[in-house]
Structure 1
Amino acid sequence: MDQIRIAIADDHDLIRNGIAKLVEEYNCEVIFQATNGQDLIDQLANQSVDVVLMDINMPEKDGIKATQEISDNYPNIKVVALTALEDETNTIRMLRAGARAYLLKSSSSEELNRAIRDVFERGYHFSELVSGRLIQNLNKNHESQETSIALELSEREIEFVQYLCTEMTNKEIADKMHVSPRTSEGWRKSLCDKFGVSTRVGIVLFAFRNNLTS
């Protein structure tokens, strides 16, 4: 089994060092540690890594901006968000920036190991936080089924999906589309049923995979 080259970005020394010791038990090599997003980007210019474990809230350059920069300049590097932030907005921001997995720091060591392996070997890891059912996107038949579903969406549904991919609240989306919050919520539930997901984040991931975001 190939040894996975890891970089860790976190502004808390104790947490960063603890993560480093943990992942080295997974047949991973910690190539370097960074204290913030800018430090990470600077070191990537001279170091080769496979997976970055990325905190979100960091000084100088946060994890979202650093992840976007990695996506733009180092597309072969997989980013795993490893954060204490459980809110939907930051989850969507990190996924839009290019993160391949989103884990809480309270996750078990076994899940962290799985996430690193999954993003390295298959490109993505979907935790319970994001939506376990979305792991099916790796199945080609499922991808074809998703494409068929996407093609059957109305223009109004596509417009609603695109708003869901922003940071707008449900009320703001309803106002923008000139409908009631109740109608907006009905659309969201209907799309969840169509896409086989249970959360707004699940809808967003479906939209990313099927090029519905713009």
Structure 2
Amino acid sequence: MPDRSVAIVDDHPLLMEGIGALLKRWGGFALTATGNIAEDIVSIVRTHRPGEMIVDLNMVGDVFQAIADALKIAPETKIIVFTASTSPDDAIRALDAGARGYVLKGSPGEDLFQALQAAQHGDVYVTPAFATKVIGALQDKAVERQKAISNRLSVREEQIVKLLLLGKRNSEIARELSLSDKTIKGYMTNLMAKLNVRNRLEVVLAAQRLYPPMTIATVTRLHS
């Protein structure tokens, strides 16, 4: 079985040498290219199409954009961020850009190896000691997004959403709010647009995230 090709983009030559030595010691990897600025991420992917790429964040250029651009060219390349940044926001930005791993410098070498292995199998790896902070930040952002969506709903739309969560059909909602069926359908169309969903069931699922204490009375009636 041929060695997996790996590229490294980092502006610290000694660190690149150290990673290269680790790859050689682990076996099964072949270092095919190196770079030291964000633009190199894109150019290396375009030229070499490595299986994995290890990149730092602290380099000249926009590394996050470079990751996203590189993956448009070669989505099969698995990018691992190897950095000193302990900012959860940086980790989230990197993962949102398409990185398959976020490993902190100073971690045991085994962490980088595990990240490469996880990426190869389609998984995402974050340094374990740092992962809790990343998950917490993701949850906070999700809550903020849901609050922002909730704040965009009108009083009437909130009424309809809460009745949906009780398992009410459109006709039942119309009677309860003294509106026509056609008006309720219009509100449903607006809700789908605001919640960025495609159908009634997805409106309900999105509503559950907006109003977590409420539950659906019956699932079988959601499609009516």
TM-score normalised by length of structure 2:
0.57
Distance 1:79 1:93 in 2: 13
Unaligned runs of 5+ in 1: 135-157, 166-172, 179-211
Q: Does 2:142 align with 1:161?
A: yes
Distance 2:40 2:122 in 1: 28
Aligned-residue offset at 1:40: 2.7
Question: Closer, same or farther in 2 for the Cα pair 1:41/1:110, shift >3 Å?
Answer: same
- 1:146 corresponds in structure 2 to none
- 2:98 corresponds in structure 1 to 98
Aligned-residue offset at 1:71: 2.2
Q: Does 2:33 align with 1:32?
A: yes
- 1:53 corresponds in structure 2 to 54
Amino-acid identity (%): 24
C-alpha distance after superposition, 1:32-75 (max 9, x if no partner): 1111121232232221310110101111x232122111222211
Question: Closer, same or farther in 2 for the Cα pair 1:75/1:93, shift >3 Å?
Answer: same
5 Å matches for 1:16-95? 16-27=16-27, 28-59=29-60, 61-95=61-95
Paired AA for residue 40 in structure 2: D
8 Å CA contact 2:42, 2:67 repeated in 1: no
Distance 2:25 2:145 in 1: 39
Distance 1:26 1:115 in 2: 13
Q: Secondary structure at the match of 2:49?
A: coil
Aligned pair count reads 146
Distance 2:99 2:5 in 1: 17
Aligned-residue offset at 1:106: 0.9
Higher RCO (CA < 8 A, seq sep 6+):
1
| Moved beyond 3 Å, runs of 4+ | 162-165
Q: Secondary structure at the match of 1:130?
A: helix
Distance 1:93 1:162 in 2: 17
Aligned-residue offset at 1:123: 3.4
C-alpha distance after superposition, 1:107-128 (max 9, x if no partner): 1111111111110123322431
Distance 2:38 2:89 in 1: 19
Question: Closer, same or farther in 2 for the Cα pair 1:164/1:26, shift >3 Å?
Answer: farther
Distance 1:81 1:43 in 2: 16
Structure ID, larger Rg:
2
Question: Closer, same or farther in 2 for the Cα pair 1:161/1:7, shift >3 Å?
Answer: same
